Amino acid sequence: MMKDNNKVLTYNNPILYSKKLEKVHVDICTPIQEAYASDSLAVEYYNKSLRTSSQDKILKAKNHETLAEINFDNTEYSLAGAYYDSTMQNLVRDSKPYRIIKRKRDNLDDVIYYEEIAVRDDSILNLMSLTDEAKLAYFTKYTDELKQKAEEERERQEALEALENNGINTVNNNISGGPPGIPGGPNQSSFYFYNQTTVSYGKNQFNKIWGDRPLEDNWRRSNKNTSNFNDDEVVDDLANASEDELFDPQFYIAKIPKGEKASDSIYQERNFAYYQLGIIYKEKFKEYNLAKDKLQELLKSNPEERLILPSKYNLFKIYELLGENDEAEIAKNDIISKYPDSRYAAILLNPESVTEDENSPEAIYNRLYKEFETENYAAVINEADKQILAFDGESIVPKFEFLKNARRTGF
């Protein structure tokens, strides 16, 4: 798509930008998004719009929603969920727009939950695999960075206290001493925030000390990232740690799980998260390449037996959907030769057997879905729980889970 140079000049016009900043979604963001194949410039301006002091909640909601949609399209589901949360904060609760966004946000719960587990467990497993020397080097670098940030924060705090004790008093003394009719003269208001000179001074001093900080809770903290160790016990340990402990690499090394039993447990949890993500990406979001990646990684990591066959069958279906016919044929033959007595082999040899078997998971699901349509929710939840246990590890399980939560999520 060709770029419109006139539009680019308009966007860079500071006068137009300052006059129409609150209309940035209409005047800036939308044309950019339409004019460029990449979303990066549009995202930049949407975020600029959100950083203004606009009180227009409709505009804020629209900006957050658009950023959520962009991240959703880029399969950044955790970020999309955060932007949907912000969108809802700027909408009237229980209004139709609010309910629409909430339904979209709720549909992301499962994928965000399992992605967080996968990322956390991959991080822990990576740390467990390091040598003692590598662990020490890793956390020494981490604690050195913590010390540097703590020192910078201390210096900023001291500078702010100096400003509070001396800077404002000096400026206020100048207010009463200047000539009449100009800033600082006797005709000017003595209230700090009514005087443009003192306000500008304060803003400049703040920016020198603190830099460009967003308006939010804990704004003084430059690093709000949480630790990769997300278990409640570890989080509590970190929260209650002394300064000496936080700056000691051995404190973190001691938190890394040890032993084969711990490793196996984390691998099982991570592998199940991969399996769930593969099915969710396939069934719910139709993101077949993402689903393929998760299931292929799962099969490489020595998963539990119960996950192997359903993963292979779902990969076969994904290969078909992606038009990768050679891969699909290999997967099909692998299932039939290695698991000849399985239900999956029977389906591959005779696809019509799925509809003929009244006790198949698909048939049970279809009957339960009819119950859902009659709004017999209590019965649906109870039966779904039973079938989730009965077909644990099979590809039908996420469908039962979605149906169980359908009333809440709008599925």
Full DSSP string of 133-145: HHHHHHHHHHHHH
User: What phi and psi, each to the nearest 5 degrees, are found at residue 172?
Assistant: -65, -35
- Tokens 């080097």 -> residue: 137
State the Cα–Cα distance between residues 109 and 404, nearest whole angstrom: 14
Residues making up the chain, counted from first to last: 411
181 Rama class: left (phi>0) / alpha (psi -120 to 50) / beta: left
Residue 398: C-alpha distances to residues 94, 280, 283, 345 (Å): 28, 7, 8, 21
Output the pLDDT for position 306: 87
Alpha-carbon dihedral 385, 391, 395, 400, rounded to 10 degrees: -20
Q: Give, for 91, the enclosing helix (H) or strand (E).
A: none
State the Cα–Cα distance between residues 207 and 402, nearest whole angstrom: 49
Below-70 pLDDT ranges, the chain: 1-39, 167-232, 235, 353-358, 392-395, 405-411
Tokens of 114: 């399992």
Output the pLDDT for position 39: 63
State the Cα–Cα distance between residues 98 and 88, nearest whole angstrom: 6
State the Cα–Cα distance between residues 17 and 110, nearest whole angstrom: 40
DSSP letter at 179 equals P
CB atoms within 10 A of CB 188: 19
Over residues 306-340, the pLDDT tens digits come to 899 999 999 999 999 999 999 999 999 999 999 99
Output the pLDDT for position 393: 58
Residue 20: C-alpha distances to residues 9, 24, 64, 333 (Å): 15, 6, 19, 63
CA proximity to 69, closest of 58, 84, 86, 57: 84
CA proximity to 24, closest of 60, 65, 57: 60
CA proximity to 393, closest of 316, 327, 313, 308: 308
Residue 228: C-alpha distances to residues 82, 100, 128, 252 (Å): 19, 33, 13, 11
DSSP letter at 22 equals G
State the Cα–Cα distance between residues 276 and 274, nearest whole angstrom: 6
pTM value is: 0.64
State the Cα–Cα distance between residues 362 and 373, nearest whole angstrom: 17
Burial 371-410 (b: 16+ CB within 10 A, else e): bbeeeeeeebeebbeebbeebebbbbbbbbbbbbbbeebe
CB 90 within 8 A of CB 61: yes
CB 100 within 8 A of CB 406: no
Output the pLDDT for position 127: 94
Tokens of 34: 């339409």
Specify the long-range contacts of residues 332-340, CB closer than 8 Å, at least 24 apart: 335/309, 339/309
Q: Give Cα 32 to chain centroid, integer Å.
A: 25
Tokens of 326: 């050679």
